Amino acid sequence: MPGGRFGLQAIVQDDASVRRVGETYTWVRKYIFPGGQLSSIESIEDAVRRNTTMRITDRLSFGRHYAETLRRWRSRFETRAADVARLGFDETFRRMWSLYLAYSEAGFRTGYLDVNQITIAKPAACA
């Protein structure tokens, strides 16, 4: 469709970190997101450029704001630990998720992690 576009929201790392971590079997990959892999803005741009006629036209970064979201999620999760236990999740599970949320919050606060909303569009000339 001429002028078509879509939005992508992605948690990203800088390209050097993505390459360094590579296929390392991290704690997050093992326990939280099995098989998961963060991307970088560079790799997203490269994939779009190599595989489509579309291009990234806009990008909004808000990782530092997302850190506050994670802090609030962790606070609410920990406040409702008894409710989580009643759902059948044990202390190990609850501690693991508290750690994950705190770890992620720190990653976003320090800039090690970021979250971006990316607009990808098909130029009208490519129709």
- The answer to whether 86 and 94 have CB atoms below 8 angstroms apart is no
Task: Answer whether residue 125 shows pLDDT above 70.
Answer: no
Task: Answer whether residue 22 shows pLDDT above 80.
Answer: no
Task: Answer whether residue 1 shows pLDDT above 60.
Answer: no
Domains of the chain, start order: 5-126 (3.40.50.150)
- Give which of 5, 126, 7 is closest to 60, Cα–Cα: 7
The pLDDT score that the predictor gives to residue 29 is 86
Task: Answer whether residue 113 shows pLDDT above 60.
Answer: yes
| pTM of the shown model | 0.83
Contacts of residue 6, defined as CB under 8 A and 6 or more positions apart, other chains included, come to: 119, 120
Count Cβ atoms below 10 Å from residue 70 Cβ, excluding itself: 20
